[in-house]
Amino acid sequence: GQQLNQSPQSMFIQEGEDVSMNCTSSSIFNTWLWYKQDPGEGPVLLIALYKAGELTSNGRLTAQFGITRKDSFLNISASIPSDVGIYFCAGQLKGQGAQKLVFGQGTRLTINP
């Protein structure tokens, strides 16, 4: 199936640092979603994006729907220990009538206190 290229695969940062991660594809998407997953739990929706160029914030998290509709970015400012986890991007392809999502491989975030 379709693939999203999510990078980086892992990040090791100090508490208080800002974090950036992104997802790219060769295909056009109508929707971009960002999820966070804690170990052994289901993913939790962080941000949903529906329009090209849209910039949306949720507390210290900010995500953007790329102008080309082929990418999206997630930034976390002033990281704290509870930000540790795996972050997934997901997108709905343009013309995908069945409302399926395509998921990235995830970015594993580790924070050193």
Q: Distance between CA atoms of 78 and 25, rounded to whole angstroms?
A: 28
Q: Given phi > 0 = left and psi -120 to 50 = alpha, else beta, which region is 85? A: left
Q: Which is nearer to another protein, 41 or 59 (CB)?
A: 41
Scan residues 47-106 and list those touching another protein (CB under 8 A): 48, 50, 88, 90, 92, 98-101, 103-106
Q: Which is nearer to another protein, 14 or 99 (CB)?
A: 99
DSSP 14-36: ETT--EEEEEE-SS-EEEEEEEE
Instruction: Kindly list the distances between the CA atom of residue 24 and the CA atoms of 29, 36, 65, 90, in Å, as whole numbers in the listed order.
Output: 10, 18, 11, 10
Nearest to 32 by CA among 56, 54, 48, 53: 48
> Nearest distance from residue 1's CB to another protein, in Å?
4
Q: Which is nearer to another protein, 44 or 78 (CB)?
A: 44
Task: Print the binding letters for residues 15-54 with another protein: x by CB under 8 A, - otherwise.
Answer: ---------------xx-x-x----xxxxxx--x-x----
Amino acid at 76: I
Q: Which is nearer to another protein, 16 or 53 (CB)?
A: 53
What residues make contact with another protein under the rule CB under 8 A? Answer: 1, 4, 6, 30-31, 33, 35, 40-45, 48, 50, 88, 90, 92, 98-101, 103-106
